[in-house]
A and B are shown apart, each in its own frame.
Chain A
């Protein structure tokens, strides 16, 4: 009897430990997973710790030679040795392929896809005898995440979603029946997607429409493509708001073109131009709407490369800048520049350097950091706030 008690206490403390680590996020749970998954490639934990320690990774020897002096050296990553295929759920490997060829882009789309894939992983999970779900399931999910990361570095919103899920798994009562636990987790994921993305989106649209008038014409500046901005503009058109859109685009992804076809299909007046031409267009702009990849703890916006330029020039011309972000994109970190944390444009979107010498490199980043001072308001499902209030919102949300 006392032995049993001791066991339970041990389990509890173990769980608490997991909870703490799940909150801390990052690579650590993968180390945790190691004892439970002896078949995992042994070099993997070493690799991941090397990454988190130095911030730079081993590059391909060829790329290394070319990029020795580049400030973006650390972004030229060697492929992470991927997980053995038998540990990867088929849905995850499918998702990985879609992510790596950029068929799924955008923070929301990636989170939705990840969550629905993880639901399938959880649905097909059975606790092996001798362990509990709350401990073992993590060791099944970790390689899935590692595999996805080898396809494309995970987005910040994915990171917080995964962290949230790990916390939920750790919270599962060890005495809970497998079937119940699976259903419970899938339900929680559905709620997360519904509350943090779908309903949040509706609320953001409602909040943004208050900035548009049905009687006075406004010209909205939009850059690249954001799913929430697309929905907002289409809803605004349906609601009879009077506006036209100036849509800017730039390499490497040229996502604006997709948005352009959706908006014109919806019957919205569009002017399509290039980021470099912004200054000539700004005198006619009423305000700018920017999409978000993440809002940082100091109110800065981490988003598609080019947003910082748009915000800066808008500010110089006294054009208000609003950014639309669901509150799950608020993250607990600060970025000092746009170089340290970023992602290089993938092979398919490289700039045209055909016919140039072998010494010529090309580098395009996918994201940049817009300082909070260029942003007038963050429109989220909780309302319209100045970017400097975001940390306060985050603290309130945590309680």
Chain B
């Protein structure tokens, strides 16, 4: 059901809700919010607000509103698939909570009107497109309105509360992702290991930190990941952990040093349903070299990054429209060259499932071929 988001969908503070939605999509569009963790968190927080303020007469309407909000966020930043993952998770929880609440109230069987709320009584017609509001529905809904207004409203308010609680769980899950992922780091990494990572990923960072703290010492090579150069931030954060020896290397040195590396730890942007990942440019290079040297590649990720989205599977499609600022490669100081050259460094790239040994998530460890089943279990509608 396609729905246009407007003030009619929200009770009371509809203006603030709307402006929150616009603000978040603007931030996403302008890359004020980057990284799937932050995006997921912001999305979940927004959806909580949306659900608590939504004006809906039926569960379908609520679901449609949530979906429309998710879609509008995704439209403003199609590369942040965490948006759609969180939205799907929230939709699933809403459905579950609703059915549970319904079952509970049906057991009482004191309120038969509740069953009709499942059958879409139109409490608030205003949000619907004009053509749907023909006379008969208007009549029937106004009839129902008089009949069971207070009951249904009461039920919706009650179920909204449990739904918000459920969304809160999603938020908590996202917020504790780092701790949950790093919890078992010491099972995989000992002090004799030599770790290589590229660029900066907060999940990888906390994973390595946790491994270093539990094992009491670790040697970590960080590739600087030009032209983003975010390896430097990673080094900055890792050097503060006691016992960690951090060495920054250039990207061209990864190959030479790989024989000395025992494990490669990478973060990711999105995990696809086939077990492949879409990660920052440079990840493929590292994983391919690791694969050639038979070094295990550990991909650390929160489960909110796992997407069942079937689009964007092909690397080219995903990386084709998002480029790193070319000023990092060539500056106007370089002279006339600037006018004559095409500079292209995509932000993200696709890494094949064969190149990853294991995904360590906030809820268990999965080899790439089990991702499909995980999605079926956790996220299917």
User: A8 in the interface, Cβ–Cβ < 8 Å?
Assistant: no
Partner of A71, one of B225, B260, B315, B344: B260
Give min CB distance, A111 to chain B, whole Å. Answer: 23
User: A191 in the interface, Cβ–Cβ < 8 Å?
Assistant: no
Partner of A361, one of B247, B284, B334, B335: B247
Q: Which stretch of B93-101, B168-176, B248-256, B294-302 is in the interface? A: B248-256
Interface string of A332-362 (1 = CB under 8 A from B): 0000011100100100000111011101111
Number of interface residues of B (CB under 8 A): 51
Interface string of B218-231 (1 = CB under 8 A from A): 01000011110100
B343 touches A273 (CB 8 A): yes
> Quick one: given A313-B285, A339-B257, are A250 and B315 in contact (CB under 8 Å)?
no
User: A275 in the interface, Cβ–Cβ < 8 Å?
Assistant: yes
B340 touches A264 (CB 8 A): yes
A250 touches B226 (CB 8 A): yes
Listed residue (A69, A274, A337) with the most chain B CB atoms within 10 angstroms of its CB: A274
Closest to A267 in B: B340
B229 touches A279 (CB 8 A): no
User: B337 in the interface, Cβ–Cβ < 8 Å?
Assistant: yes
B342 touches A272 (CB 8 A): yes
B229 touches A352 (CB 8 A): yes
User: A165 in the interface, Cβ–Cβ < 8 Å?
Assistant: no
Which of A322-339 touch B at CB < 8 Å? 337-339
B257 touches A353 (CB 8 A): no
B224 touches A351 (CB 8 A): yes
In angstroms, Cα B250 to Cα A250, docked, is 8
Closest to B350 in A: A279
B251 touches A276 (CB 8 A): yes
Q: Chain B contacts of A121 at CB under 8 A?
A: none
User: A363 in the interface, Cβ–Cβ < 8 Å?
Assistant: yes
Q: Chain A contacts of B227 at CB under 8 A?
A: 274, 276
Q: Chain B contacts of A277 at CB under 8 A?
A: 281-282, 344-346, 349
B259 touches A339 (CB 8 A): yes
In angstroms, Cα B287 to Cα A312, docked, is 11
User: A365 in the interface, Cβ–Cβ < 8 Å?
Assistant: yes
Residues on A facing B (Cβ under 8 Å): 69-71, 249-252, 257, 260-261, 264, 269-281, 283, 304-306, 308-309, 312-313, 316, 337-339, 342, 345, 351-353, 355-357, 359-365, 367-369
| Shortest beta-carbon contacts, A-B, top 8 | A306-B252, A338-B256, A276-B282, A305-B252, A251-B250, A264-B340, A364-B250, A250-B252
